[in-house]
Amino acid sequence: MRWTRKDLLDLQSLSADEILAVLDTAREFKAVGERTIKKVPALRGKTVVNLFVEPSTRTRISFELAAQRLSADVINFTAEASSLRKGETLKDTARNLEALNADFIIIRHSAAGAPHFLARVLGAHVVNAGDGAHEHPTQGLLDVFTMREKKGRVAGLKVTVVGDILYSRVARSNVWALRRLGAEVTLCGPPTLVPPAFQRMGCRVTTDLRLAIADADVINLLRIQHERQRKTMFPSLGEYTSLFGISRARLREARPDVLIMHPGPINRGVEVDSDVADGGHSVILEQVTNGLAVRMAVLYLINGGESSGVAN
């Protein structure tokens, strides 16, 4: 399948076929990454700019490496050292990058909708690397890729997402992709962070962790996003951990083959104990590895590539 999209802004608007095209293409790129020569010429002559106006470790480095593996030239824009600090607008900044022949702008921004705005004003391809509490589409894709790789399917999987759902762009992107591919999604956390309105996205909503994890094939744990919360959403971190943290004892109440996932960064001892994060059920670092293949697939498909041509 050939993608016809100029940009990747969210997963809400993607069809199941478009999501599956990314997953299938990423599988091919993962195989390329296991070869001695890991580079392909698909984006030779193209310029990719990482425009990160919010901190990132995994996503920024993963996009940088993905672009390099596709033979693109890569520019890492550092917001703190840029003229954004002198009052230049995001639009002017991005248009100047385009004037320097940027073909792709990968943007992370604290404002929901910033990538959509840039996509309207730029001819360059725009990829959303996380916008406020709205969406983090490549994280959603790499999470679904990892589930499909480990469990052999997505349709019918029972996936429980635990934590700060309200402020989580990862949760929203997971829900859109998982529901589109036929998984059953349960959202669990304190009532202030998991409002019943999420049921309208086709999810089961509960505050009972025991119920939420009992029959789950996958438990995806989220960080408390203190940077986005405008008020205290629960009494204390200690209380949060005792009710919603996953310890080894808690894990015994889940299925023996359950997968533990986390998008990172982890707050060890809060949403997950170290012996679970580093234990046999955890695929947290495999998610990071898969993120590289997924981001290569996204850049490749947006550039007009087809899955069958990946290995050349």
Contacting residues toward ligand CP, per CB under 6 A: 56-59, 130, 136, 139, 263-265
Q: Tell me the residue length of the chain.
A: 312
Q: Measured from the CB atom, is 136 or 281 closer to ligand CP?
A: 136
Q: Measured from the CB atom, is 64 or 217 closer to ligand CP?
A: 64
Minimum distance, C-beta of residue 235 to ligand CP, in the bound complex (Å): 27
Minimum distance, C-beta of residue 262 to ligand CP, in the bound complex (Å): 9
Minimum distance, C-beta of residue 109 to ligand CP, in the bound complex (Å): 13
Q: Measured from the CB atom, is 156 or 265 closer to ligand CP?
A: 265
- The helix/strand/coil state of 120 is helix
Q: Measured from the CB atom, is 58 or 91 closer to ligand CP?
A: 58
Minimum distance, C-beta of residue 296 to ligand CP, in the bound complex (Å): 16
Cβ 290 vs Cβ 26: under 8 Å: yes
Q: Measured from the CB atom, is 42 or 147 closer to ligand CP?
A: 147
Minimum distance, C-beta of residue 136 to ligand CP, in the bound complex (Å): 6
Q: Measured from the CB atom, is 47 or 59 closer to ligand CP?
A: 59
Tell me, letter by letter, the H, E, C secondary structure of the chain.
CECCCCCECCCCCCCHHHHHHHHHHHHHHHHHHCCCCCCCCCCCCCEEEEEECCCCCHHHHHHHHHHHHCCCEEEEEEHHHCHHHHCCCHHHHHHHHHHCCCCEEEEEECCCCHHHHHHHHCCCEEEEEEECCCECHHHHHHHHHHHHHHHCCCCCCEEEEECCCCCCHHHHHHHHHHHHCCCEEEEECCCCCCCHHHHHHCCEEECCHHHHHHCCCEEEECCCCCCCCCCCCCCCHHHHHHHHCECHHHHCCCCCCCEEECCCCCCECCCECHHHHCCCCECHHHHHHHHHHHHHHHHHHHCCCEHHHCCC
Q: Measured from the CB atom, is 33 or 264 closer to ligand CP?
A: 264
Minimum distance, C-beta of residue 54 to ligand CP, in the bound complex (Å): 8
Q: Measured from the CB atom, is 42 or 297 closer to ligand CP?
A: 297
Cβ 154 vs Cβ 178: under 8 Å: yes
Minimum distance, C-beta of residue 49 to ligand CP, in the bound complex (Å): 16
Minimum distance, C-beta of residue 59 to ligand CP, in the bound complex (Å): 3
